[in-house]
Amino acid sequence: MILVIGNTKGGVGKTTIAVNLAVLRAAAGGDVLLVDGDDQGSATLFTQLRSENMGAPGYTAVVLQGAAVRTQVRQLAPKYGDIIIDVGGRDTGSLRAALTVAHCLLVPLQPRSFDVWALDQISALVKEARELNPDLRALAFLNGADPQGRDNAEALEAIGEVEGLEVLKAVVVRRKAFPNAAAQGKAVTEMQPRDSKAVEELTVLADIAFS
């Protein structure tokens, strides 16, 4: 399964979800490749910190940019069970290349108007990518969602209107466990004490994305 976590909006949790999914899938026994397609290099820094703290990350990590995301991922695909691609929060060559080679795009966004409005851009990119990659699934989900209140439901309804994207009912709520874990090069599944809600939400998301 080749999965890209992408959104042209920045700061929506792409890298957070990408590294957590990489750790989760690797812990489940998968042979995982994490591709850092963002020149900001956050996924790479996470992996470096993880290697220092834990000896080995448990997955393979590479940095790829632009068209190489397509050509290298194609070439590496037979060697890995899962390939998880993190990209930057802009319309980049890496994102466009990833969309042509991925089976599935996961689009995290927060339940806020600016995030929902920005989806038109990713919707257009998905439409374009499907000309080359007609089976591309595109799943939008709320990350950094509110623990309660009406905003989640309203955002989900608005996302439903965006062409070409499926909306996931599974939401990842805003939980301190995510930054706390990242600061140690860990996934939320590896933290003690465990935030069982964060773990549950991530697991449900992974089950859907990799099904």
Which residues of this chain interact with ligand ATP, rule CB under 6 A? 10-16, 38, 40, 42, 88-89, 143-144, 172, 174-175, 178-179, 182
**Amino acid identity, position 90:** R
At 174 the three-state DSSP class reads: coil
**Which of 28, 42, 45, 68 is the binder for Mg ion (CB under 5 A)?**
42
Which of Mg ion, ligand ATP, none is residue 144 near (CB under 5 to 8 Å by kind)?
Answer: ligand ATP
Which of Mg ion, ligand ATP, none is residue 82 near (CB under 5 to 8 Å by kind)?
Answer: none
What residues contact residue 208 under an 8 Å CB cut-off, 6+ apart?
139, 168, 170
Pairing of the two strands 32-37 and 82-87: parallel
Which of Mg ion, ligand ATP, none is residue 69 near (CB under 5 to 8 Å by kind)?
Answer: none
At 142 the three-state DSSP class reads: strand
Which of ligand ATP, Mg ion, none is residue 174 near (CB under 5 to 8 Å by kind)?
Answer: ligand ATP
Pairing of the two strands 166-167 and 137-145: parallel
Chain position whose Cβ is nearest to ligand ATP: 89
Structural tokens at position 140: 């939008």
Q: Which residues bind Mg ion (CB under 5 A)?
A: 14-15, 42
